[in-house]
């Protein structure tokens, strides 16, 4: 990657993600980093479920630890690592909750067992035993045995609205390529960084 021809980062990201899918079974896995109001960081892997010019979307229980941290401090960082390509993408930006229509549409596209799982799990809260979780899943499966499974009110998505996007390509002798895009108004400023 001597040069990036694209003038905005989402075009580069889309190209790299398409290439990553050829060698990475979970190319949409990304590390999501949040912070408490006191500035204590926490990170976990989540799955990218959509992206466009507005940002990068993932879904979760709105009562989970990550959601609580995002409500208190609505900024996040994402990191994609595609080892088969020796590439990394970092994204930083403000976070907003997706609209109900968008969350409903995505929830309806999920496998039924995953929909039931969203009802059964009190995500991030203590669980007495695996048996209890399986019992809850059976209960909700019976409750919604006919028709569609509605989206729980406590389940939705967040969009990370990118302000900074960095692309890293590994090179020999640690002379890596790094390109940084910084949002400026409606456009992007692009610059190369030392490795």
State the catalytic residues.
174
Cα–Cα distance measured from residue 114 to residue 117, given in angstroms and rounded to the nearest whole number: 5
The Cα 36–Cα 41 span in angstroms is 7
Do 109 and 129 contact (CB within 8 A), yes or no? no
- Name the pairing type of β-strands 29-35 and 75-82: antiparallel
Long-range contacts of 104-107 (CB under 8 A, 24+ apart): 104/151, 106/49, 106/50, 106/59, 106/157, 107/59, 107/151, 107/155
Based on its alpha-carbon atoms, the radius of gyration of the chain, rounded to whole angstroms, reads 19
* 3-class SS of residue 135: helix
């Amino acid at each position: 990657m001597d040069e990036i021809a694209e003038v905005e980062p989402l075009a580069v990201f889309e190209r790299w993600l398409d290439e990553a899918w050829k060698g990475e079974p979970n190319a949409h896995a990304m590390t999501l980093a949040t912070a408490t109001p006191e500035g204590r960081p926490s990170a976990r892997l989540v799955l990218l479920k959509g992206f466009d010019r507005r940002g990068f979307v993932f879904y979760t229980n709105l009562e989970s630890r990550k959601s609580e941290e995002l409500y208190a401090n609505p900024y996040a960082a994402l990191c994609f690592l595609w080892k088969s390509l020796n590439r990394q993408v970092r994204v930083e930006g403000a976070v907003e909750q997706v609209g109900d229509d968008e969350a409903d549409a995505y929830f309806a596209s999920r496998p039924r067992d995953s929909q039931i799982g969203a009802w059964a799990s009190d995500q991030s809260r203590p669980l007495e035993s695996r048996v209890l979780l399986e019992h809850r899943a059976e209960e909700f499966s019976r409750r919604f045995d006919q028709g569609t499974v509605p989206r729980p009110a406590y389940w939705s998505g967040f969009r990370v609205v990118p302000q900074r996007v960095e692309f890293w390509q590994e090179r020999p002798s640690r002379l890596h390529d790094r390109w940084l895009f910084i949002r400026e108004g409606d456009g992007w400023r692009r610059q190369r960084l030392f490795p």
